[in-house]
Chain A
Amino acid sequence: MNTTAQEPIVTDAELVARLQAGDESAFEKLVRTYMPRLLRVARRFLSSEEDARDAVQDAFVSVFKSIKNFEKNAQLSTWLHRIIINSSLMKLRSRRRRPEQEIETLLPRFQEDGHQVEPSTPWTESAQTVLERAELRDAVRKSIDQLPESYREILLLRDIEELTADETAEALGISKNVVKVRLHRARQALRTLLDPSMRTVPA
């Protein structure tokens, strides 16, 4: 079998070289190292644990098939990230979509003169308190889940997975301008959903 299999795999470059050589222990190392990160991404997109796990499994099948074509100067983690995103989006598409909610009711409303109908008040809670309080973290996640699907996926891709507007447009097969418009609306809608639990309580 492979004579180098006994040497520890330290870097991603070594891991890729072993994978491309067909070293079975390298495949296990790859799965054990990267699976949790991939599962975390899949769970963001897919509400069902079974679907998230299927997406991870599909992603690794794709990785196993295409590792030979992986370019040595590419970043392994970035490549895997793109694969799990595509796999999660495919799984999402294969599921019957929830009826698309109207986002308009979650956007700020303006009077004819351009002023906000309901003036905004400062938030007392901050992202720092979201970090510190589990119930607030759950509330934020639930609010993200409430966003209409075509907005939620763009918020996840741009603000959480940190894809560029071009990468997001390509992944979803839509224009960069649509990505831009939907991202702004998604953030506004999420802000509206978070507002009651984050703002100053009037005395």
Chain B
Amino acid sequence: MSVRPYLPCSEVIGFLADYIDRVLPPETIVEFERHLAVCASCVAYLASYKETIRAARIAEDVIADAPEELIEAILRSRLQ
């Protein structure tokens, strides 16, 4: 019985965005997950890749202020 080769890490990491967007063909997902079942490094990479996206969203979600002088400048520009 021949053993099906695993996808290399380079391919798994190369298609991570498609994997998390669920746009990979079902047969590729099977191969992808077969690789993840035996590769701790890619599991860690996948988790940190997802966490990177979340961290970026959180870090950029700053409270917005409303400088009064900017409001006035905008309203003045309307009247010009």
Contacts and interface: CB of A to CB of B under 8 A. Distances in A.
Interface of A: 27-28, 31-32, 35-37, 39-40, 43-44, 53, 56-57, 60-61, 64, 108, 110, 113-116, 119-123, 126-127, 130-131, 136-138, 140-141, 144, 155-156, 159-160, 180, 183-184, 187-188, 190-191, 194-195, 198-199
Interface of B: 8-11, 13-14, 16-17, 40-42, 44-45, 47-49, 51-60, 62, 64-67, 70-71, 73-75, 77-78
Contacts of A115: 8-10, 41
Q: Is the interface of B mostly helix, strand, loop or mixed?
A: helix
B78 A27 contact: yes
Contacts of A27: 75, 78
18 contacts: A28-B71, A36-B66, A53-B67, A57-B73, A57-B74, A61-B77, A61-B78, A110-B8, A116-B9, A122-B44, A126-B51, A140-B58, A184-B14, A184-B17, A188-B49, A190-B56, A194-B48, A198-B48
